[in-house]
A and B are shown apart, each in its own frame.
Chain A
Amino acid sequence: MKRHSTSTWTVARTIASKDLRIEWRSKVLVNQVLPFAAIVMVLFAFALDNDGILQRVAPGLVWLAVLFTSLIIVQRTFAIESADNALDAIKVAGVPSAGVFIGKSVALVAQLLLFECVLVLLALVLYQVHLSWGGVVLLVTVSVLANIGLAAMGALYGGLGAAAKGRETLLPLLLLPAVAPVLIGATRATESAFGVGGASLGEGWPWVALLAVFGALFGFGGTLAFGVLTEE
């Protein structure tokens, strides 16, 4: 008659696939957030107004746009939960909070990856940067690792904001300083991938290690901390 606790992994998988299905269905990301990211890239071009500079700073602009977009995506991923108070329903079910955290983070990683692909393509077109095949390999590695860090921190502080109702404005204040290492590491590595200022591919890989450490540390830390930050 009675149910048993579902495993953390089942919960994580269920939550992640549910989130992605909702995004696929609602098209909010594609119809609203993606155009936002694109216009940010275009506005950067107006603000800087010089082809030479744009080419030089393209990697930084791509990752700044990712960072701003991630704020919106994180807020959106918790808005889904609070629209009809599904967050409460999940809590009442006694679901392991580590599973919720991992599920939310995995879905965020996937969404961020989509945005990075589009933003890099835009940079190739709008800012006239070049990308070799070796650069693609580096860029994909960088993106995946950077996303793990971004998503973990985003899910953690986004969850805190959602639990403390009406205080969603806390997210940028907590998230942006914390993910500075991701911005620095990913930007420098992307400079190598784009070959900006004569940077070679080899210079990019040490930054990958920084991103990996960051992702591992906060992926793990977030799994432990999420329950405390979001419950009661």
Chain B
Amino acid sequence: MSSGDEAVRLRNAVVLLGSFPALAEASLVVERGEIVLISGANGAGKTTLLRLCAGLLPLARGEASVLGFNLATQRKEAQLHVGMLGHANGLYLDLTAQENLQFWGSIVGASSREMALSAQRMGLHSRLLNTPVAKMSAGQRRRTALAILVIRRASLWLLDEPHAGLDAAGRDEIDIILREAATAGATIIVASHELERAGALATRRIEVVGGAVVERGVQ
């Protein structure tokens, strides 16, 4: 791949879910440091676009690279620098928030100080930390997942409806975290229905229609 300056580069990317082309020749370039808001109707292909960038879906046709790594050949290398928060939180329901954090801390090699800081940031106080995830509310689970996302220290953040299920305080906290991450140099792609909230953050808006990307201009 030519340029290391691009966080995401898709050229005529086709992704199939079964035999359905969820992405139909989508092209997109995201520069490093951008905060991109993706809008689009249900079924337009927003989630598929994010999952492709996360290396979770194979490319049927076209080209895709993330942070300079070709997704067809260097998926694992790319994934080390990509963090994703999807519809599911990816938590173990029988474990406490603290244990989930520790699991990921050990997987990604984060210090316990880092984990504690991140938990604190997301408003996970000690009583909550020792609650099994199964007994948490949707919003509390989301915060836990976000705390884990923060310790990943990813260069590219992919978020699918991050505000869903959160209260006002939680939503504000997400916005603050995303701004901070962007300031620190991370690139952020957010798929959201909540245009005014996410739109305030974004440096650029795109829309996904029928599996293709349509530019909606810079804010």
Interface residues on A, range: 20 to 34
Q: Are A88 and B88 in contact (CB under 8 A)?
A: yes
In the complex, identify which listed stretch (A62-70, A92-100, A179-187, A199-207) lies at the interface while the others stay far away. Answer: A92-100
With A and B bound together, what is the CA distance between A163 and B98 in angstroms? 28
Contacts of B84 in A (CB 8 A): 89, 92
The answer, yes or no, to whether B78 is at the interface (CB within 8 Å) is yes
Contacts of A6 in B (CB 8 A): 106-109
The answer, yes or no, to whether A85 is at the interface (CB within 8 Å) is yes
Neighbour of B152 across the interface among A3, A10, A14, A18, CB < 8 A = A3
Given contacts A3-B108, A80-B92, A88-B56, contact A94 B79 (CB under 8 A): yes
The answer, yes or no, to whether B81 is at the interface (CB within 8 Å) is yes
- Which residues, 30 to 57 on B, are CB-close (under 8 Å) to A? 54-57
Contacts of B94 in A (CB 8 A): 22, 25-26, 80
Q: Are A10 and B106 in contact (CB under 8 A)?
A: yes
Contacts of A232 in B (CB 8 A): 56-58
Contacts of A10 in B (CB 8 A): 106-107, 109
The answer, yes or no, to whether A5 is at the interface (CB within 8 Å) is yes
CB distance from A166 to the nearest CB of B (A): 12
With A and B bound together, what is the CA distance between A88 and B83 in angstroms? 11
Interface residues on B, range: 35 or more
Contacts of A86 in B (CB 8 A): 90-92
CB distance from B192 to the nearest CB of A (A): 19
- Which residues, 54 to 111 on B, are CB-close (under 8 Å) to A? 54-58, 75-84, 86, 88-95, 99, 103-104, 106-109
CB nearest to A23 among chain B residues: B94
Query: Could you tell me the dominant secondary structure of chain B's interface residues?
Result: loop
Q: Are A1 and B86 in contact (CB under 8 A)?
A: no
CB nearest to A227 among chain B residues: B76
With A and B bound together, what is the CA distance between A4 and B109 in angstroms? 8
Contacts of B76 in A (CB 8 A): 5, 94, 96
Which of B79, B83, B94, B133: most chain A CB closer than 10 A? B94
Q: Are A88 and B107 in contact (CB under 8 A)?
A: no
Q: Are B81 and A2 in contact (CB under 8 A)?
A: yes
Q: Are B184 and A84 in contact (CB under 8 A)?
A: no
CB nearest to B133 among chain A residues: A84
Contacts of A21 in B (CB 8 A): 95, 99
With A and B bound together, what is the CA distance between A6 and B107 in angstroms? 6
Q: Are B82 and A22 in contact (CB under 8 A)?
A: no
With A and B bound together, what is the CA distance between A25 and B107 in angstroms? 21
With A and B bound together, what is the CA distance between A95 and B108 in angstroms? 9
The answer, yes or no, to whether A11 is at the interface (CB within 8 Å) is yes
Q: Are B153 and A2 in contact (CB under 8 A)?
A: yes
With A and B bound together, what is the CA distance between A61 and B103 in angstroms? 38
With A and B bound together, what is the CA distance between A93 and B83 in angstroms? 7
CB distance from B42 to the nearest CB of A (A): 19
A-B contact pairs, 6 of them (CB 8 A): A1-B184, A26-B94, A84-B92, A84-B93, A86-B90, A91-B55
Query: Which 3 A-B residue pairings sit nearest by Cβ, starting from the closest?
Result: A89-B90, A94-B79, A85-B88
